Chain A
């Protein structure tokens, strides 16, 4: 961890809270649980040729803030986003003015990021391109059958240039995922499928580490995260999916 990443993370968090507060926009918790993972990725191993695919499209505001910080989204477009008339809604668009592999694909309907990532990773493999594909997924993504089709495919074809980042905040739209779609078996299941599985604390910037031993397998990181991270005194994890702090509640 460097001081820069910590300060970047704090800057993004402040902007995120203000963004949702100004717009009365839900899904703040989905962004907060991914914040440390994506800060570590975008100011870590992610190279400009690499692809990033946001499968959990409900964290779009976090992506917009990151891409703005990286110079891929103008201040004006960011300011207008998630407001009437903007092409940038609460889920990422299917067409963007600026083509860049960090914009990934449009999303909003869950369960598609891993398969899209498989396709891009396969194309890179065919073209002997050494760059990498990262996909950020949520509980809801893993609920979807399409994700399981793609998890099988990636393992079967040894797409070692594919890394899935699972923001495991243990909450989905109506409650705890352990009661809705239990995933306690995930590490064992994925290892048996042929994935290189890693478990990390998704909020400890000093310990989030994407460097792993070389492997022929695709990688799957399970990050333990918290949906109300940093706003515990205001909202429960479930509430953080729907609510936002008012101006007085902002730090």
Chain B
């Protein structure tokens, strides 16, 4: 996703002279040619996320569009108070957080970003974007820059391709027995199983906040829901969806990340916490069978 971002940004910079990129000493190697091509508008501010956020506010206040690129966790948490206090609907700020979720796997827990969406959702004027697949990044960026106010883009690599274009909330398999909700790349952990089973409807959330009325209507029919999210439970979109849904919630099951002391590859870490294809397929089948038995 990182490559897709920098490739898109190069074209964007050619067409938009009021765009600025602040790098928190990250972006190797894709950022290097961009720094050469636009030396006045691509600045490496060093490992200083607070300063990056403050400079961004100063630039935004003068009518410039500012991208900050860095590791997801650092670009949000190291400067969280500044982002909370200073940015509002008038600011064209785009934070590009690489390694969303467990994207930095083996780098360790400091680099994991499994509470980012919860943090950003605390700030009323902010929007989060969660592309499911690498191929969606340019489309997401094109939509994102049209929105007012500060934007956060969560980049988590997923090279699988699909025919579907990005939508903030899309439906990828249809059925009326079980509602499955995925967030960003967790789509491809669930989609095969959902398509193999009959009666499973799969939603994919790519933007937050999003109107969840469609999910609510579907849940009203099935009464059973599985939410799969690469995020810790506290502050997760799952918990926010649960809080908003109407009807009984005892049949809503959320698969989230509950261990933050492990290290390993992203695949390993997901599997260790039950967010792998096999475990999810088992979960979907089990929930659907329960529905069937009761039916």
Contacts and interface: CB of A to CB of B under 8 A. Distances in A.
A20 interface: no
Contact of A123 (B48, B50, B64, B82): B64
A127 B62 contact: yes
Contact of B50 (A121, A122, A146): A146
A123 B43 CA distance: 12
A126 B40 contact: yes
Interface stretch (B29-37, B53-61, B135-143): B53-61
Given A106-B85, A153-B48, A121 B58 contact: yes
Interface in A51-66: none
Given A105-B86, A122-B58, A122-B59, A149 B50 contact: yes
A115 B81 contact: no
Contact of A94 (B20, B64, B86): B86
Contact of A109 (B51, B58, B85, B88): B85
A245 B88 CA distance: 39
Contacts of A221: none
Contact of A119 (B41, B56, B63): B56
A153 B45 contact: yes
Interface residues of A, number: 27
Contacts of A121: 58
A146 B85 contact: no
B23 to A, nearest CB: 13
A145 B58 contact: no
Interface in A130-164: 145-146, 149-150, 152-153, 157
Contacts of B88: 94-95
Given A106-B85, A106-B86, A112-B82, A119 B48 contact: no
Contact of B51 (A95, A106, A120, A150): A150
Interface in A90-128: 94-95, 105-106, 109, 111-112, 114-124, 126-127
A116 B46 contact: no
Contacts, number: 82
Given A106-B85, A126-B40, A149-B48, A112 B62 contact: no
Contacts of A127: 62
A155 to B, nearest CB: 12
Contact of A152 (B40, B43, B46): B46
A153 B55 contact: yes
A145 B62 CA distance: 25
Interface residues of B, number: 26
Contacts of B59: 119-120, 122-123
A3 B56 CA distance: 41
Contact of A149 (B20, B51, B61, B81): B51
A123 B64 CA distance: 8
A118 B62 contact: no
Nearest to B66: A119
A126 B64 contact: yes
Given A126-B41, A126-B64, A152-B46, A118 B85 contact: no
- Point out which of B20, B53, B55 has the most chain A C-beta atoms below 10 A from its C-beta: B55
B61 A119 contact: yes
B55 A112 contact: no
A241 to B, nearest CB: 23
A126 B60 CA distance: 13
Interface in B15-49: 20, 40-41, 43, 45-46, 48
Nearest to B87: A94
A122 B62 CA distance: 10
A105 B46 contact: no
B58 A115 contact: yes
B76 to A, nearest CB: 15
- Point out which of B40, B62, B63 has the most chain A C-beta atoms below 10 A from its C-beta: B62
A120 B20 CA distance: 13
Contact of B57 (A109, A116, A145, A149): A116
Interface of B: 20, 40-41, 43, 45-46, 48, 50-51, 53-64, 81-82, 85-86, 88
25 contacts: A95-B88, A105-B57, A105-B86, A106-B85, A106-B86, A115-B50, A116-B86, A117-B58, A118-B54, A119-B55, A119-B62, A120-B58, A120-B59, A120-B62, A122-B58, A123-B62, A126-B20, A126-B40, A127-B62, A149-B46, A150-B55, A153-B45, A153-B46, A153-B48, A153-B55
Q: List 10 tightest A-B contacts by C-beta distance, closest first.
A: A119-B58, A115-B54, A123-B62, A149-B51, A149-B48, A119-B55, A120-B58, A146-B50, A119-B59, A123-B59
